[in-house]
Chain A
Amino acid sequence: MTTTSASSQQPNANERKDTQIIAAKRSIWKDTLRSLFRSKAAFGSAIFLLLLFIVALTAQWIAPHDPQAMDITNRMLWPVWSDAASNPAYLLGTDSLGRDILSRLIHASQMTLTVAVSAVIASGLVGIFMGLISGFFGSWMDSVIMRLADLQLAFPSLLIGLIVMSLIGSGVVELVFVIALTQWAYYARIVRSEVIKVRETEYVQASKALGAGNARLIFKHVLPNALASMLVVASFTLAIAIYYEASLSFFGLGIPPAIPTWGNMIAAARDVMLRNWWFALFPGLAITFTVLAFNLLGDWVRDHFDVKAE
């Protein structure tokens, strides 16, 4: 039926089809945006994260002070709204070395987001690669990779993270590596099952018969179909990465303490916190809200694209 109608439409049938596809694509974007707008939680999270990224990118300019500058005469100042010793120049107070907490918080967002985004990219790339190998080549390669994934998911990932970090030492690259090591398996599973599902469909068989190579299959069929699931995992990976950065740094195994990160700020507060509650409060709130925003966004993506939770 479709063939007759397609052949009956004469010269500009292709053109019309193209416009239809573009219209369909545009309406996906429109639908997504509209749904995002309608969900208050997801919309709020998106705005919050957008602002956070802007803050991180412009940290050099918007932070009121140098995050490392020590003002010895203004140590341990309280936040300005408290009635104890405070200074309006230091909105959220200063730490035990007289460094501005707000500026450190702003600069720390840079490192936190860098680690989180890099970890998602790294785990995504490794996972996609492993999933493709597993799905396309099958047989023993598939078994090995999937058993490896099972194995790695059999241990609490924080435990693996701690062990590996204690062996290879702390650092930014090391941390990204460790997070990727504990998260790749989720992506690999999604991509693998997508490959297996897609490989047997008629349209893929047809495009194979027409001479399409694996690269075309991967980029035209497998990855676009796996995208929604991977987006869900990615938003949760971002949340997990932020939690791991904070936890590992807190226990002295993440980012070196000299670099301001939210986890490091809480770790530094630990020794002197008995009186100075605000040292730990603000970085903790920053972590909580950021993780919350990524989780809410992940929930929304899952519901909107109707991804089956694994």
Chain B
Amino acid sequence: MLYLANRLVQGLIVILAALTLAFLMMFVIGDPAMMYVGADASAEVLEAYRVALGFDRPLIVQYFDFVRNAVQFDFGVSYRHRVDVVPIIGERLLRSAELALPAMVLAALVSIPVGVISAVHRNSWIDYVARFTALIGQAAPNFWVGIMAILFFSSYLGILPSSGRADPGSPIWVQARYILMPMIILSLMPMAYLTRMMRSTVLEVINEDYVRTARAKGLSERKVIYVHALRNALIPYITLYALQFGWILAGSMVIESVFAWPGFGRLLMDSIRMLDIPVVAAGLTTVAALYIGLNLLADMLYTLLDPRVVNR
């Protein structure tokens, strides 16, 4: 319990840091009032806006105001879209989930069996192919893989749409065609990492006493691997799996930009490039909150799955 409280306090500090960073950004890039009215506004208009928006107050007052509003999920108005930031973020997060969730499911569906087979048949050709593919998957830059895939599947073969998202009203298979390519490419990096992870964990577990005992009992090899070895190997796997969602955040910034997918990642990327600070502030805080939540979840899963681990 104390441990949990400790982690929560740490998490709050990270979120406060994200807010502070965002607040500072607002002033580093120049006069925030000018961001609202435009660079060609007259001095009087600018001053009027500055007072109206509260940018004329002492910085420290503005800072506490900013934090207080943020805590109440009010990050102000986007410089670019001229609408409240928080609803946009929420909507975009749902769009991102359409890619990210199937991508993570796919990563698990591939990495668990491939990792196990690779470990059980160590140094066989299956193992070599799997390891080599995973290594390439980790090394190839994701934006480039995306471009090459568009080139091959959309331009050359012409079987998949190159970018964008289908109309929400269109039938499910049409939507799936748009999701397929970015989803698979988004899953490659976690898939490669998790496969390598799974393989090395199974290799470790296979040498444990309880696996030898299971064999000695005369259990079938299949039962030894899939019941005794795999279940133990899954403990570290699941925690790392939870942490991979954090990677997916960074990955979706890149992949959504390449595939023009209207999700949270692309929103954040565009807002950073356009210096749309209210959106960046809200985005940064969202990322921090998600990351902390996932870390906490990973820790709790670990204790839940492995009773030997006691969090203090």
- Contact surface of A with B, Cβ cutoff 8 Å: 147, 150-151, 154-159, 162-163, 166-167, 239, 243, 246-247, 250-253, 266, 269-270, 273-275, 277, 280-281, 283-284, 287-289, 291-292, 295-296
Contact = CB atoms under 8 A, between A and B. Distances in A.
A295 B138 contact: yes
Contact of B269 (A162, A243, A296): A162
Contact of B143 (A154, A159, A163, A266): A266
Contacts of B246: 156
A251 B269 contact: yes
A288 B140 contact: yes
Nearest to B265: A159
A155 B150 CA distance: 29
Contacts of A281: 148
Contacts of A292: 135-136, 138-139
**B contact residues, range:** 35 or more
B273 A251 contact: yes
A274 B151 contact: yes
B300 interface: no
A287 B287 CA distance: 28
B185 to A, nearest CB: 13
Interface in B262-309: 268-269, 272-273, 275, 280, 284, 287-288, 291-292
A292 B287 CA distance: 29
Contact of A155 (B10, B138, B269, B288): B288
B19 interface: no
A275 B154 CA distance: 11
Q: Which 8 A-B residue pairings sit nearest by Cβ, starting from the closest?
A: A156-B250, A292-B139, A284-B144, A291-B139, A288-B140, A158-B250, A154-B14, A274-B155
A301 to B, nearest CB: 16
A188 to B, nearest CB: 17
Given A155-B284, A158-B253, A284 B148 contact: yes
A5 B227 CA distance: 57
A156 B272 contact: no
A35 B29 CA distance: 52
Contacts, number: 113
Contacts of A155: 18, 284, 287-288, 291
Given A151-B13, A154-B292, A295 B147 contact: no
Contact of B287 (A150, A156, A166, A239): A156
Contacts of B18: 155
Interface string B14-33: 10011001000100110000
A155 B21 CA distance: 12
Given A151-B14, A287-B141, 20 more contacts: A155-B284, A155-B287, A239-B139, A243-B141, A246-B143, A250-B143, A251-B254, A251-B257, A253-B273, A266-B147, A273-B151, A277-B155, A280-B151, A281-B148, A284-B140, A288-B136, A288-B139, A288-B141, A292-B139, A295-B135
Given A292-B135, A295-B135, A156 B249 contact: yes
Contact of A163 (B145, B151, B254, B272): B272
A159 B140 CA distance: 19
B139 A159 contact: no
Interface in B104-140: 135-136, 138-140
A252 B272 CA distance: 12
A183 B297 CA distance: 25
A280 B147 contact: yes
Identify which of A250, A252, A287 gathers the most chain B CB atoms within 10 Å of its CB: A250
A167 B13 contact: no
Contact of A284 (B141, B257, B275): B141
Given A243-B141, A250-B143, A251-B273, A277 B151 contact: yes
Nearest to A283: B144
Of B28, B139, B291, the most chain A CB neighbours within 10 A belong to B139
Interface in B149-166: 150-151, 155-156
A252 B257 CA distance: 12
Nearest to B18: A155
